[in-house]
Amino acid sequence: MRIGQMRIDPLIDGETVSPPTACYVNPADWSGYENYLDTTTGVHMNTLGGYLIRYDDRVIVVDTGAGPKPVYPVSSGGFRSALYATGVTPAEVTDVIYSHLHLDHIGWASINGKPFFANATYRVDKRDWDYFVSPDYDMPDWEKAASDPSIDAAAVRLAPVADRMEFFEGDQEVLPGIESVEASGHTPGSSVLRLTSDGEQGMLLGDLVHSQPELVKERWHFFAHLDPVAAMDAVERIRKELADTKMPFGAAHFPGLRWGQLSMKGSELRYDLIPL
Ligand SMILES: [Zn+2]
């Protein structure tokens, strides 16, 4: 994908799969959207990983997958190979930006107690840092079940990079051409990134949504939202901007980390994949 001078590549670490309605508290009606389920098995696949953004002398990774030692039902471990496949080594990465600090986004922050990206500055919304890295953080059952907390907990995984963290909060410029957009709800400091280069714009949605119908239909309640009302309000706000501008966007878990676009079709929102 290109946004002006920015080149953006997916970095796929792996996936999780679940029955289509399992991730939603309200009954999620997938009719008309079955094409976004796996066509062979009918499961709802969430790709795990991140994105590589290159422009000027910046080499930026947005989110770092679930890590090299997955616990079922997470399957992951491909992130490092995906990075090398782009021609970039971990030492060349200048910045790591987190959409939020759930364990399926911070897996390759460190490895064997050392920063995985040896020369990078790591960046996250301060509210997520305060929440997930606090000694009071109590992992919910879904995080415990899908991890080894002794290595995957945010306080453990991020300890080796704590002294190189820089914080932003809400709507703010994070780096030239990259702004965080307030999207708290999924987690206290959940962020969407708006990318701008040479007059073109795109967005990385992080965990604003976990499936395409969640973006275009009314208020699907994803089970892991910490503040569901705020999270669903953020979806409504941001999808309006996406549809009004037809800005291309990627999400943290859409299958294959493909980019798409929103538009209005009559009174309904329509999602289209951007051709490769
Ligand atoms: Zn996630």
In the prediction, which pLDDT does 206 show?
Answer: 98
- Cα of 105 vs centre of ligand 1, distance in Å, is 6
- Evaluate if pTM is beyond 0.95: yes
- Cα of 266 vs centre of ligand 1, distance in Å, is 32
- Cα of 209 vs centre of ligand 1, distance in Å, is 9
| Segment 209-248, tens digit of pLDDT | 999 999 999 899 999 999 999 999 999 999 999 999 999 9
- Cα of 65 vs centre of ligand 1, distance in Å, is 9
Residue 273 vs residues 4, 35, 43, 166: alpha-carbon distances, Å: 19, 12, 19, 34
- Cα of 46 vs centre of ligand 1, distance in Å, is 8
- Cα of 11 vs centre of ligand 1, distance in Å, is 14
- Cα of 235 vs centre of ligand 1, distance in Å, is 15
- Cα of 106 vs centre of ligand 1, distance in Å, is 10
- Cα of 118 vs centre of ligand 1, distance in Å, is 24
Q: Report whether 132 contacts 186 (CB < 8 A).
A: no
Mean pLDDT computed over every residue of the chain = 96
What value does the mean pLDDT take over residues 185-198?
98
Residue with tokens 């021609």: 87
Coarse DSSP helix, strand, coil percentages of the chain, rounded to the nearest 5 percent: 25, 30, 45
In the prediction, which pLDDT does 152 show?
Answer: 94
Cα–Cα distance, 2 to 55 (Å, whole number): 10
- CA of residue 81 relative to chain centroid, distance: 19
Fold for the domain defined by 2-273: Metallo-beta-lactamase; Chain A (3.60.15)
The domain limits of the chain are 2-273
- Cα of 196 vs centre of ligand 1, distance in Å, is 24
| Segment 84-95, tens digit of pLDDT | 999 999 999 999
Residue 121 vs residues 86, 148, 166: alpha-carbon distances, Å: 20, 26, 7
Helix (H) or strand (E) segment spanning residue 145: helix 141-145
What value does the mean pLDDT take over residues 28-41?
92
Cα–Cα distance, 130 to 147 (Å, whole number): 21
In the prediction, which pLDDT does 27 show?
Answer: 82
In the prediction, which pLDDT does 50 show?
Answer: 98
67: three-class secondary structure by DSSP: coil
